[in-house]
Chain A
């Protein structure tokens, strides 16, 4: 069980980690990064599955199914969108040396 101060420590450390790892991100990556973190909180799907998996009454099952549907939408959609955005950065590489010659 994670309780009391142990939880606080995890919260605190995770918060600092999140803050530090993106502190030097260039503007060019703001939108893909927002989309990427949008994907990461798609882990909510695991929670939704656990909630539905342990549901007993009908109302729990109904809300649980809604949770899983929404969470699965979050995780799949965010992945595709992020992947498509980041794919763009690959195509610019072969073209870069060609234009570098033209640079002063």
Chain B
């Protein structure tokens, strides 16, 4: 295919505009009012960048590229369209892992190309006939330069290609494990003695293999394939080994970290490929993702190191305090009446509500209360759901306007004035032992002060413990009543209870 000579310049211009659109898009996505435009901006830039890549000079295998793009993109599009809102977090993990895998694969292709070029270099005499007027040595230097420019791999770029593989591969397998855990395919945490040291050993072994292979490459020796394959295998294994012991409650932080990792890997690859859009987009995501990871860890009152290297709820330490009192059940009709005649009601939804798909029923109930003149607020813990902000998305899906949704810091001082707090599917985030019991694994985690409300109604499926596996003192408090049942059914009974009140 012959291309006009201005094509590379046009491609550069479009990559530049794409980089601008990504930054602008992320900027818009960080405010609720402009968020929707943000993804459109970024999407437009991305589409243009992908399209112009087809017309870069020297591109082969166009058919293979088109087919792969359509198959890979089509499958993901289809899955992304059909998946339920509650499953969004694991989807982010899955797609992020794919990006990491792609980044690692790109690094691998670049290294193989470099190796092929080296082979040509090391055997120049065979290519130059003895009768050549140019000295073989001079020819070799010249060829070396030509090939180096052709494959674009100076020592710095080689190093970055290795780094891209390392980070990308860890992000790939790590994200897939995170996906499997959130999807419920791997419920258990896999913990064994000296795990941290084993993981460290795997990591060091991977890095050593990488450095040895890198030094050989920089010195211009052909690759030691064993070393390279070991490097690959060890990085992939490390991603798995590192994620296995981390509990489900910490997964959002881990996914966010892998998201930042993939960004960094992409930036490294972009440097090896001399593609500015990749460098900038990757680096921006790397930095933004790192900040986001910190914000999430902060919302859970845990440091990142704590998430990665300590086993949450591992059962160590002193025995937890005994909880006195009994569980006092309440009937759905009584609960409905109680709230109908209350002045202020706070609804505290948790992931359990989302799993039961009860958000629509709950909103219907809240609307009936509002019609009766009750002041209703939704109180959201920063990590309610599976990720920060996940619950807001789920409530928004049900149609709850976001001025009725209050963050923890805003609603906590109000709880003593609230007549009824309706807890539905939330457990650990309302557990007062986080404030009172120093031996509890969730001690110090910020919680919603639901216990301070005048009355508390807890909708709960059974008597099981929460995600962290801790007994909840709130359920035993004097002002708490338990409404047992599936979230959706219970909310339906509450709605029915309110309606009979008016009939």
Contact = CB atoms under 8 A, between A and B. Distances in A.
B95 A78 contact: yes
Nearest to B87: A81
Interface stretch (B320-328, B400-408, B434-442, B486-494): B400-408
B277 interface: yes
B201 interface: no
Nearest to B397: A88
Interface stretch (B102-110, B211-219, B309-317, B452-460): B102-110
A53 B65 contact: yes
Contacts of B278: 43-44, 46-47
A6 to B, nearest CB: 11
B266 A43 contact: yes
Interface string B64-102: 110011111111110111010100110110111011011
B36 interface: yes
A47 B266 contact: yes
Contacts, number: 402
B262 interface: yes
B58 A53 contact: yes
Interface in B365-407: 370, 373, 375, 380, 382, 385, 387-390, 392-393, 396-397, 399-405, 407
A7 B30 contact: no
Main SS of chain A's interface residues?
Answer: helix
Contact of A73 (B59, B76, B266): B76
B286 A15 contact: yes
B: contact size bracket: 35 or more
Interface in B279-294: 279-292
Among B36, B109, B405, the most chain A Cβ lie within 10 Å of the Cβ of B109
B58 A70 contact: no
Contact of A99 (B65, B274, B401): B401
Given A41-B99, A50-B53, A53-B65, A34 B275 contact: no
Interface string B323-338: 0000000000000000
Nearest to B269: A47
Contacts of A50: 53, 56, 59, 273, 275
Contacts of B72: 68-73, 76
Interface residues of A, number: 91
B10 interface: no
Given A33-B30, A64-B105, A54 B113 contact: yes
A95 B284 CA distance: 35
Contacts of A82: 39
Contacts of B126: none
B147 to A, nearest CB: 13
10 contacts: A10-B279, A19-B288, A30-B389, A36-B39, A37-B284, A37-B289, A43-B22, A66-B102, A73-B76, A75-B76
Interface of B: 15, 18, 22-23, 25-27, 29-32, 35-36, 38-39, 42-43, 46, 49-50, 53-54, 56, 58-62, 64-65, 68-77, 79-81, 83, 85, 88-89, 91-92, 94-96, 98-99, 101-103, 105-106, 108-110, 112-113, 116, 152, 154, 156, 252, 255-256, 259, 262-263, 265-267, 269-271, 273-292, 295-296, 299, 370, 373, 375, 380, 382, 385, 387-390, 392-393, 396-397, 399-405, 407
Given A79-B39, A102-B375, 18 more contacts: A18-B283, A18-B289, A18-B291, A26-B32, A28-B389, A30-B295, A30-B389, A41-B262, A43-B18, A44-B265, A47-B275, A72-B69, A80-B81, A85-B88, A85-B393, A86-B35, A99-B370, A99-B404
